[in-house]
Amino acid sequence: MDKAVLGIVINKDKCLLVHRRWPPCTWGPPGGFMDKGECELETVQREIFEETEIVCEVIEKIHDFIYSDAYYNSSISVYVCKYMSGELSFDKESLDAGWFSIDEMPKGVSPGVEVFEKAFSIVKEVD
């Protein structure tokens, strides 16, 4: 089973989402597969920067799940992160990217809205 990570980046009252070009083709946090020799925290920061040019501070792991389809069978860990710097852009892996409040999130966001709510509450506790 492949190992992947996602990073929910919070900036004040908004979180960073990308609209994935490839399966599962939904809106969700930036992330991806670990490179050989990388730890999860390094992967989260690298993937967020590669996909969005955003620099973040990783706070903690908040969720784990399995994603499986015709192409992938992956164990995925979700981390909550705090925005540090950078101007948002997106790369070839995404159709779009943006900052969304919990009330503005696109339908079908993955993971579920409850994971994002948990991320917002953790960042509020840290601030």
pLDDT, tens digit only, all 127 positions of the chain: 889 999 999 999 999 999 999 878 899 999 999 999 999 999 999 999 999 999 999 999 999 999 888 777 889 999 999 999 999 999 999 999 999 999 999 999 999 999 999 999 999 988 7
Residue 72's pLDDT is 76
Is the CB of residue 58 less than 8 Å from the CB of residue 106?
no
Residue 76's pLDDT is 94
List the beta bridge partners of residue 20.
94
Nearest to 45 by CA among 13, 14, 85, 73: 85
Handedness of CA 75, 72, 111, 85 (dihedral sign): positive
Residue 23's pLDDT is 79
Nearest to 79 by CA among 36, 123, 109: 123
In the chain the beta strands, taken as DSSP E runs, fall at: 2-11, 14-20, 27-28, 31-33, 55-68, 73-85, 94-100
The pair of three-digit structure tokens given for residue 32, joined into one six-digit string? 């991806």
4, 22, 84, 97 from 27: Cα distances, Å: 16, 11, 22, 9
Q: Which pTM was predicted?
A: 0.94
Distance CA 72, CA 41 (A): 22
